[in-house]
């Protein structure tokens, strides 16, 4: 256990996004496990601010030297902010996945959609099993 | 690498070509069309010959070494094919020549259609698609038109297993459908329960790669086909991996509705910079009217010594043309030569030897490497390029180190469902000695990974170009080898 960082205050998806909920705003990025599996990230495609997306919708693409992966909304919402810094420095997703490597912020449509996401212990176990 | 750019060996006034005296009246080009800044290298013929000969020697190709690049079927391309394609009657035939003037070429295309039809077990073939992806596109467009003609418009989805070729979901999107991914079961086959749950009247069909990208022949292929047919969908087989089936299994007899071939893989026409692809499609009676055209047919049957008269036709409800003229004809000639030279038993041997070679390597490497779906494979298999307790060594490092042993790396990081995937396809054209050299190299690398991981991390050490900075290469795109002169002064960095 503990090979990858999984902060306790976050929720996680099976597709390896993390979700931080603060009031009616949420922040999303990819997990330490995801960045480790992808290896050096070279490109991040961001959505338009104002886009309204449902839970499970693809909101962007993360591309590494190994693979390109769609990233999905852990819960539905309207994009309020995107991290433009990762366009020029996509390696932020590798070096600080839960901090400077965040990808989007959005206003939450329905917080109850987060109920079926994993907590850090469940996500830890999920990663170890793969 | 020491070879300079051809621009760097240029010197003013040097020429490699003496143009003959002009034998027609000369006319001056308008002044505004004449450029003074045309930046072309000025070199002698000898310099050109040496430069490109040296460059070619820095390369690794199937003519210089083993090339087990999974999914690509990098088999030897017999020179006989090249002789045939260069026959003046084929090579110099203008594609706009009328049918009367191109009967030889039409006869060849007709025979190739027939042979591919026979190998596929289907009813009809079109040679038009320019490569595999266009063959896929044609196949899904035919499925779409089939449903539309029947007024069945609620079908919007195509099922695609997660072990499919990456082009499959892309094809689905291009054709206006939504791709629905299906999981694999513990054996690497399609998860039948998930498939049955997904089958309903919104499914237009399924695209499946057989054998899959894991190199595995789908163990319950008949059930898969049945499930999709039962809900009214059609079955598309990605035939890129026909090198594991040719002459042994006929997709049409399994119940598929449509497939494509990759002539540039299975039928040994050059690819990977060596020439264009060719992706003929084969269909059953249901889809025959929708084939992309034109296809070749017999207009008048042969009579005694008079050969048949061939002509082009558009199938009655054709999805239309996919490209100008008649497909990549040069590839048709090469594939024709390959089939003719091998014959029925020869083609069966190709498959048998391709499958035997892959299984030999799989078994030989089973101790040194973890093979996640370790059962009898088709023409290729996938192993994990990682070792317990050596976290810093990745599949990429193993690939780079193989280059030091004079071997082209396998396909890296695909399929995505295997960690640190290395996909290995030896093909039938390699002998036992070469296969054993590969096994030895892979085993040595497995030992090195534990004893000298840094040697792998910094490989290759013996190639003209050492380890490339792939991150920088992906981030800083330099698409021109040198600044364009008129912009050189103002060119900004990055």
- Alpha carbon distance B383, B413 (integer Å): 10
- Alpha carbon distance B475, B20 (integer Å): 47
- Is A2 exposed, middle or buried (CB count within 10 Å of its CB: 0-12, 13-18, 19+)? exposed
Q: What is the average pLDDT score of chain B?
A: 93
In a domain, A2, yes or no: no
In a domain, A129, yes or no: no
Q: Which residues contact B29 (CB under 8 A, 6 or more apart)?
A: none
In a domain, A119, yes or no: no
DSSP state of B33: G
By C-alpha distance, the chain B residue nearest A40 is: B471
State both tokens at A34. 């995801």
CB atoms within 10 A of CB B458: 13
In a domain, A107, yes or no: yes
A90 in reach of chain B (CB within 8 A): yes
Contact B202, B155 (CB under 8 A): yes
Which pLDDT score, from 0 to 100, does residue B491 have? 41
Each residue of B298-311: pLDDT tens digit?
999 999 999 999 99
A45 in reach of chain B (CB within 8 A): no
- Alpha carbon distance B286, B36 (integer Å): 61
Domains, chain B: 80-340 (3.40.640.10), 351-474 (3.90.1150.10)
Each residue of B136-155: pLDDT tens digit?
999 999 999 999 999 999 99
By C-alpha distance, the chain B residue nearest A88 is: B475
Which pLDDT score, from 0 to 100, does residue B258 have? 98
Q: Would you place residue B37 in the very low, low, confident or very high pLDDT band (cuts 50, 70, 90)?
A: confident
By C-alpha distance, the chain A residue nearest B477 is: A42
Contact B471 A42 (CB under 8 A): yes
Q: For residue B475, give the 3-state DSSP assignment.
A: helix
- Alpha carbon distance B363, B68 (integer Å): 16
A1 in reach of chain B (CB within 8 A): no
How far does B475 lie from chain A, in Å, by closest CA? 6
- Alpha carbon distance A71, A15 (integer Å): 8
How far does B471 lie from chain A, in Å, by closest CA? 6
Q: Is the pLDDT of residue B412 over 60?
A: yes
Q: For residue B182, give the 3-state DSSP assignment.
A: strand
By C-alpha distance, the chain A residue nearest B394 is: A39
Q: Would you place residue B83 in the very low, low, confident or very high pLDDT band (cuts 50, 70, 90)?
A: very high
In a domain, A118, yes or no: no
DSSP codes joined into one string, A28-85: EEE-HHHHHHH-SEEEEEPPPTT-EE-TT-EEEEEEESS-EEEEE-SS-EEEEEE-TH
DSSP codes joined into one string, B382-424: EEE--BTTBTT--HHHHHHHHHHTT----EES-STTSTTEEEE
Q: Would you place residue B44 in the very low, low, confident or very high pLDDT band (cuts 50, 70, 90)?
A: very high
How far does A84 lie from chain B, in Å, by closest CA? 16
How far does B466 lie from chain A, in Å, by closest CA? 17
Residue A58 sits in a domain whose CATH number is 2.40.50.100
- Alpha carbon distance B19, B35 (integer Å): 20
- Alpha carbon distance B295, B225 (integer Å): 28
Q: For residue B258, give the 3-state DSSP assignment.
A: strand
- Nearest residue, CB atoms, B413 vs list A42, A67, A130: A67
Contact A98, A92 (CB under 8 A): no
Q: Would you place residue B472 in the very low, low, confident or very high pLDDT band (cuts 50, 70, 90)?
A: confident
In a domain, A86, yes or no: yes
- Alpha carbon distance B66, B121 (integer Å): 33
Q: Is the pLDDT of residue A3 over 70?
A: yes
Q: Is the pLDDT of residue B53 over 60?
A: yes
Asked if this assembly's ipTM is beyond 0.90, the reply is no
- Alpha carbon distance B68, B65 (integer Å): 10
Q: Would you place residue B482 in the very low, low, confident or very high pLDDT band (cuts 50, 70, 90)?
A: low
Q: Would you place residue A66 in the very low, low, confident or very high pLDDT band (cuts 50, 70, 90)?
A: confident
- Nearest residue, CB atoms, A42 vs list B412, B419, B475: B475
State both tokens at B424. 């290995």
Range of the domain at A34: 11-111
Q: Is the pLDDT of residue B486 over 90?
A: no
**Rounded average pLDDT over B280-297:** 98
Q: Is the pLDDT of residue B494 over 60?
A: no
The owner of tokens 């008649």 is B326
Q: Which helix (H) or strand (E) holds A21?
A: strand A17-22
Q: Which pTM value belongs to this model?
A: 0.88
Q: Is the pLDDT of residue B100 over 60?
A: yes
- Alpha carbon distance B378, B428 (integer Å): 12
Q: Is the pLDDT of residue A124 over 80?
A: yes
Q: Would you place residue B416 in the very low, low, confident or very high pLDDT band (cuts 50, 70, 90)?
A: confident
Q: Which whole-number Å values give the CA distances from B10 to A74, B42, B55, in the listed order?
A: 58, 5, 16
Q: Which residues contact B36 (CB under 8 A, 6 or more apart)?
A: none
Each residue of A79-120: pLDDT tens digit?
999 999 999 899 999 999 999 999 999 999 999 999 999 999
Half-sphere exposure of B345 (CA within 13 A, CB side): 0
A43 in reach of chain B (CB within 8 A): yes
Sheet holding B258-261, edge to edge: B124-126, B281-283, B258-261, B234-239, B203-209, B157-161, B178-182
State both tokens at B165. 């070729």
Q: Which helix (H) or strand (E) holds B261?
A: strand B258-261
3-state helix, strand, coil in chain B (%, to 5): 40, 15, 50
In a domain, A4, yes or no: no
By C-alpha distance, the chain A residue nearest B417 is: A130
**Rounded average pLDDT over B160-178:** 94
Q: Between B433 and B476, whose confidence is greater?
A: B433
In a domain, A63, yes or no: yes
- Alpha carbon distance B257, B237 (integer Å): 8
Please tell me the total count of domains within chain A.
1
Q: Return the residue in A65, A93, A95, A130 with the most chain B beta carbons within 10 A, the one to mutate for interface testing.
A: A65
Q: A-contacting residues of B 466-485, CB under 8 Å?
A: 470-471, 474-475
């Amino acid at each position: 256990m503990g090979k990858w960082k999984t902060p306790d205050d976050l929720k996680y998806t099976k597709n390896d996004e993390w979700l931080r909920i603060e009031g009616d705003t949420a922040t999303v990025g990819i997990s330490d496990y995801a960045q480790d599996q992808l290896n050096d990230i070279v490109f991040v495609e961001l959505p338009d601010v104002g886009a309204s997306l449902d839970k499970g919708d693809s909101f962007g693409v993360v591309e590494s030297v190994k693979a390109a992966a769609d990233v999905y909304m852990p819960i539905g919402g309207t994009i309020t902010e995107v991290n433009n810094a990762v366009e020029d420095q996509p390696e932020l997703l590798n070096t600080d996945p839960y901090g400077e490597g965040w990808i989007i912020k959005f206003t939450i449509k329905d917080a109850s959609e987060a109920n079926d996401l994993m907590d850090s212990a469940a996500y830890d176990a999920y990663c170890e099993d793969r | 690498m020491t070879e300079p750019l051809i621009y760097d060996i240029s010197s003013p006034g040097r020429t490699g070509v003496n143009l003959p005296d002009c034998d027609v009246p000369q006319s001056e080009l308008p002044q505004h069309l004449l450029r003074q800044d045309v930046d072309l290298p000025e070199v002698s013929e000898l310099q050109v010959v040496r430069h490109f000969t040296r460059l070619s020697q820095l390369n690794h190709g199937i003519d210089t070494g083993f090339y087990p690049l999974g999914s690509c079927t990098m088999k030897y391309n017999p020179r006989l094919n090249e002789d045939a394609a260069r026959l003046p009657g084929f090579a110099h035939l203008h594609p706009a020549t009328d049918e009367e003037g191109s009967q030889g070429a039409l006869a060849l295309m007709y025979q190739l259609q027939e042979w591919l039809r026979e190998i596929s077990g289907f009813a009809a073939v079109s040679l038009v698609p320019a490569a595999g992806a266009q063959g896929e596109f044609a196949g899904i467009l035919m499925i779409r038109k089939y449903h539309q003609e029947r007024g069945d418009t609620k079908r919007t989805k195509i099922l695609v297993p997660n072990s499919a070729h990456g082009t499959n979901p892309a094809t689905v999107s291009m054709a206006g459908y939504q791709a629905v991914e299906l999981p694999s079961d513990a054996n690497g086959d399609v998860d039948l329960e998930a498939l049955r749950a997904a089958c309903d009247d919104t499914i237009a069909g399924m695209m499946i790669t057989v054998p899959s990208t894991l190199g595995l022949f789908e163990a319950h292929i008949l059930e898969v086909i049945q499930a999709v047919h039962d809900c009214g969908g059609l079955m598309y087989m990605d035939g890129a991996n026909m090198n594991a089936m040719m002459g042994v299994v006929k997709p049409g007899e399994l119940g598929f509705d449509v497939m494509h071939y990759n002539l540039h893989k299975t039928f040994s026409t050059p690819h990977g910079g060596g020439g264009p692809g060719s992706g003929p499609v084969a269909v059953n009676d249901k889809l025959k009217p929708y084939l992309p055209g034109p296809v070749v047919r017999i207009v008048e049957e042969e009579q005694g010594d008079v050969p048949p008269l061939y002509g082009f036709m558009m199938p009655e409800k054709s999805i239309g043309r996919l490209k100008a003229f008649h497909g990549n004809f040069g590839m048709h000639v090469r594939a024709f030569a390959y089939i003719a030279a091998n014959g029925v038993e020869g083609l069966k041997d190709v498959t048998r030897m391709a499958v035997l070679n892959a299984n030999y390597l799989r078994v030989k490497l089973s101790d040194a490497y973890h093979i996640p779906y370790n059962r009898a494979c088709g023409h290729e298999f996938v192993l994990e390029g990682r070792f317990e307790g050596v976290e810093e060594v990745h599949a990429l490092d193993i690939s780079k180190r193989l280059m030091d042993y004079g071997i082209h790396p396998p396909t890296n990081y695909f399929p995505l469902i295997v960690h640190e995937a290395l996909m290995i396809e030896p093909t039938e054209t390699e002998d036992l000695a070469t296969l054993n050299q590969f096994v030895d190299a892979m085993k040595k690398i497995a030992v090195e990974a534990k004893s000298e991981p840094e040697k792998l991390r910094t490989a290759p050490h013996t190639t003209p170009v050492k380890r490339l900075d792939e991150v920088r290469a992906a981030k800083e795109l330099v698409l021109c080898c040198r600044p364009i002169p008129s912009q050189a002064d103002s060119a900004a960095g990055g």
